[in-house]
Structure 1
């Protein structure tokens, strides 16, 4: 059994963004019998009834599902697991995407199924023969950064929680090569 992931967002930040702490959101959801709802229903209720921004509604929903035993860390709504890591590296988004695609192609010994260059956050996706996948997303590194990009690598559709640590190690190896 995998333990619940510790929250990476403090109650102070959650309160500032949503007007409530994690415990207050959980109590409201418990009062609505939200453990019987789907992930989509919980997030939609938070947005509709409490005007919680979509990003925050997703975070509250995942935290609630983990706290109530509805979802393990890394588990997706379809029951599969995903592992991801990210790092800021030197390079603009397009050059960084090209470097990442080349490294991942070499690592997986296959090319991506799709590449989206025109979005604010360019991506490339691989569907692998074993049913899993890989996603790279390149984003602006942040305000005031010049010629730096944030690269997020995600392994998708993993079979179980035992796959998470090896997948993160695999992703770290790729990111280390990209940053080096």
Structure 2
């Protein structure tokens, strides 16, 4: 049975990085989303890992962000990765939804995610209006999504940056 737990960096970090490398390849470091992550530290209490027989088979890492001139707080969800042996069983959605619940319980107002709308809208993400959010590099506007946590994501507007 798969357990979904908070990330414990001392235990899970190496396995998570290995899963990211196997899932996305070395090119994932060139993505705009990585510009936000490289100047920040993840939030392990909100991030979630899926564990089966002691092995990390899924992960949703979560990062703090600030948005716009008002410097609204938000969480950045991703990367979301699932081991090839568990793709197709909705594990990515389950681990992301568990991380969203943790973010809500921790009082974070909103979630931002860059991903496939056909997939992530099932758990409450909505595509933002074109130009509402911008990133420190090129980003496909049709893949930028937000979700309410303990506040209203629709209020987010402006440049998304690391805190």
Is TM > 0.5 for Structure 1 vs Structure 2?
Answer: no
TM-score (norm 1): 0.23
Structure ranking higher in helix proportion: 1
The answer to which structure, 1 or 2, has the higher relative contact order (CA under 8 A, 6+ apart) is 2
Structure ranking higher in strand proportion: 2
TM-score (norm 2): 0.24
Structure with bigger gyration radius: 1
